[in-house]
Amino acid sequence: MKRLILTLAALCAPYSAIAAEKVELSSDVYVEKVSHDANGRKSVVLEKPLKVVPGDRLVFILKYRNVGDRTAENFVVTNPMPSAVAFQETLDGTELVSIDGGKNWGRLKDLRVRMGSGYRDAVPEDVTHIRWNINDDISAGSQGKLTFRGVVR
C-alpha cells in the first residue's frame, strides 16, 4: 500500500515541475495557553484552538516553500490582520506594517495616528496588515517560516 502511494506521488511530480517555479504558502494558528505547575513554574503550550475568547493570545505561523525547480524572486508575504485580532509582534521583527488597510506601509515606530488636532505614535493594536519583503530570492526547494502574535480583541 505504501509503495503504491509513493508511485502515485512520483507520477504527479512532473506536473508540478511544469510551472518552473511554484511556491506554496500555508497559514496556521495556535493559542498560547500559559499554565503553572505545582512548583509555580510557568509553561507555555501552543494548542490548536477550535474556539477562543477575547484576551486569548494567538500565534500565527505562515510557512512557505518553493516546490518548483527555479528561483522565485522578490518574494513578498502579506497578512491582513483579522479584524478581531490585535497585532502584537512578529518573531523576526523585520516586518513592515500598515495601519490604514494596506494603502501605506512603514516600520511601526515611524507611523503616527491622528488624534484630534495632533498625532500619537501608532501602537501594535493599530496595525491592519503586516508584510515581509523577503530579502533573498527563494531558490528551488528552500522554505521558511514567519511567525506573529496577536490577541483576540
Partner 1 sequence: MAPIATLLLLGVSSPAFAAGTVAGTNIENTATASYDGPGGEVQIDSNTVTIVVDELLDVTVTSADPGDVATQPGAEDQVLTFTVTNTGNGTEKYALTPDVVRGGDDFDPALVSVVIDTNGNGVYDAGIDEVYAAGTNDPELAPDETVTVFVISDIPATPADGDRAEVNLAAEAETGTGTPGTSFDGQGDGGGDAVVGTTGADDDDSGFFLIQDASVALTKSASIADPFGGDSAVPGSVITYTLVATVTGSGTLTGLAVSDPIPADTSYNSESITLEGISLTDSSADADAGSFDGSAIAVELGDIPGGQTRTVTFQVTID
Least distance (Å) between residue 1 CB and partner 1: 27
DSSP letter at 97? Answer: E
Whether 72 contacts 21, CB under 8 Å: yes
Size of the site for partner 1 (CB under 8 A): 54
Which CB atom, from 7 or from 153, has the smaller least distance to partner 1? 153
Give which of 25, 26, 86, 3 is closest to 52, Cα–Cα.
Answer: 86
Give which of 87, 136, 84, 133 is closest to 106, Cα–Cα.
Answer: 133
CA 18, 19, 21, 22 dihedral sign is negative
Which CB atom, from 41 or from 48, has the smaller least distance to partner 1? 48
Whether 62 contacts 27, CB under 8 Å: yes
Least distance (Å) between residue 17 CB and partner 1: 14
Residues in contact with partner 1, shown as a per-residue x/- string from 55 to 84 under the rule CB under 8 A:
x--x-x-x-x-----x-xxxxxxxxx-x-x
Query: What are the grid coordinates assigned to 36, written together?
Result: 503553572
CA distance linking residue 41 with residue 129, whole number of Å: 35
Least distance (Å) between residue 103 CB and partner 1: 9
Residue 99 touches partner 1, criterion: CB under 8 A:
yes
Query: Between residue 115 and residue 134, which ones bind partner 1 under the rule CB under 8 A?
Result: 115, 119, 125-126
Residue 152 touches partner 1, criterion: CB under 8 A:
yes
Q: How far is CA 39 from the centre of its chain?
A: 34
Residues that bind partner 1 (CB under 8 A): 19-21, 23-29, 49-55, 58, 60, 62, 64, 70, 72-80, 82, 84-86, 96, 99-100, 104-107, 110-115, 119, 125-126, 138, 152-153
